[in-house]
Structure 1
Amino acid sequence: MSTKPILHRDDPDAEPLVGNVKVTRDDWLNVAMDVLISDGVEQVKVLNLAERMAVSRSSFYWYFKSRQELLDALLARWQATNTAALIAQAETPADTITAAVCNVHRCVVNSGLFDTALDFAVRDWARRSGKVRRMLDQSDAHRLEALQAMFMRYGYEEVEAVTRARVLYYMQIGYDLAQLNEPVKFRLKLLPYYLLVFTGVEARAEEIEEFSAYARRFWEGEAT
């Protein structure tokens, strides 16, 4: 879930801003990201963001030449977080394919690696913009290529690797979109069977235990 961003001026650990500056470039980006996720790209407007931060909209132009530059920065951040994180997790060394899939699934439970709400917001945005649609298609292709390469590292033939990569990737997108709100215990109970379906291989007990412990740290507070 996306949380309301803390402005630099409200962060007790942040260095004081110099002069009359009340917000930073990251503040504009963070609030814009929050609006994109909660209300859609149509509401990512300079005046709207300025009102949320209680600043003059003229300060926006200290950091961005135009609204379009802000939108481009949002897309760049999405690419640098979600897409880069999923690819990095797919490329993380692991002893077995089941452990490798668990590495990828860390993106599912850790929004610091992969922000699902942001991904859905960009997919919604892509329905209205050909440019964003092309970027999304390229991003999906890069993610799938990384997952395919992951399977091939463990000896899967190319066609099977492509198929398993697509099953793993698109199943997770649909799973998140369904918002099942499953109890943690039940979801983790299914983990060994999901891994078997994704890989055709039974996962080691220690792999299940390690991922389950990782997931619980991020799902803490959910009903068990």
Structure 2
Amino acid sequence: MTQRGTRLSAEDWADAALEALGRGGLAAVAVEPLATRLDTTKGSFYWHFRNRDALIEAALLRWEERGTTQVIADIETDPDPVAKLRRLFATVIGHGLTHRIELSLLASADHPAVGPVLRRIGERRVAYVAQLFGEVGFEAAEAHRRALIGVSVYLGNTQLASTAPSVLPATDAERLALISSTVDALLAGAPGPF
């Protein structure tokens, strides 16, 4: 919440839209409830956006930036591809709110603004993970296959975190051990030590 009189940015509105999306799906991204939540008027919204669709597009770009672009940039600070894979899985499987947003977006994949973004992000994620497996030494086709498995593990974990959290590890240590085992399995047969 902001204090009335504080000028909100387009990013503030997009962040609020993402939070609403994570709580209640695409239908929860509505101008009046968001204005109330932000303690502002609809006029603030119209200062930044022409309509709800423009807000949804801005929120999707913000989600892509945070959940993919920034994650990749952070992972790329490490020169070791195996360490990158381990950090990547530990990072993405640990994102609670991101999971809820991701699931809400997947449920709205037929929306004309959502579908293309999900497709672009899915392709980018698979390509990046394949790049990491390529850096480990796998041939392109095998790197791509392992990337598909890895991204599928992430999506499956995301689904389980929402629908059946009791089946997932209860402690951080157990979660990290599972992630480590997953990456070890994906690296099995890698050309060279890891």
Query: TM-score, length-normalised on structure 2?
Result: 0.81
| Pair 1:197 & 2:179 matched | no
RMSD: 2.6
Aligned to 1:100: 84
Q: Which stretch shifts more, 141-150 or 48-57?
A: 48-57
Q: Distance in 1 between matches of 2:13 and 2:91?
A: 26
Equivalent residue in structure 2 for 1:183, among 170, 176, 182: 170
Aligned pairs for 1:106-125 within 5 A: 106-108=90-92, 110-111=94-95, 115-125=98-108
**1:87 to partner: Cα distance:** 3.0
Q: Distance in 1 between matches of 2:117 and 2:132?
A: 23
Q: Distance in 2 between matches of 1:178 and 1:203?
A: 32
Question: One-letter code of the match for 1:98?
Answer: V
**1:172 to partner: Cα distance:** 1.2
List runs of 5+ in structure 1 lacking aligned partners: 1-6, 10-19, 205-224
Distance 1:137 1:167, change over 3 A: same
Aligned to 1:147: 129
Asked if the contact 1:83–1:143 (Cα under 8 Å) also holds between the matched residues in 2, the reply is yes
Q: State the percentage of identical aligned residues.
A: 24
More helix by share: 2
Asked if the contact 2:150–2:186 (Cα under 8 Å) also holds between the matched residues in 1, the reply is yes
Distance 1:110 1:190, change over 3 A: closer
Q: Which has the higher contact order (CA 8 A, sep 6+)?
A: 2
Aligned to 1:129: 111
Question: One-letter code of the match for 1:116?
Answer: H
Q: Distance in 2 between matches of 1:32 and 1:192?
A: 34
Query: TM-score, length-normalised on structure 1?
Result: 0.71
Distance 1:193 1:60, change over 3 A: closer
Please identify the structure whose Cα radius of gyration is greater.
1
Question: One-letter code of the match for 2:54?
Answer: E
**1:137 to partner: Cα distance:** 0.9
**1:190 to partner: Cα distance:** 3.3
Aligned to 1:28: 13
**1:82 to partner: Cα distance:** 0.9
Q: Distance in 2 between matches of 1:123 and 1:203?
A: 37
Asked if the contact 2:18–2:59 (Cα under 8 Å) also holds between the matched residues in 1, the reply is yes
Distance 1:52 1:188, change over 3 A: closer
Asked if the contact 1:35–1:44 (Cα under 8 Å) also holds between the matched residues in 2, the reply is yes
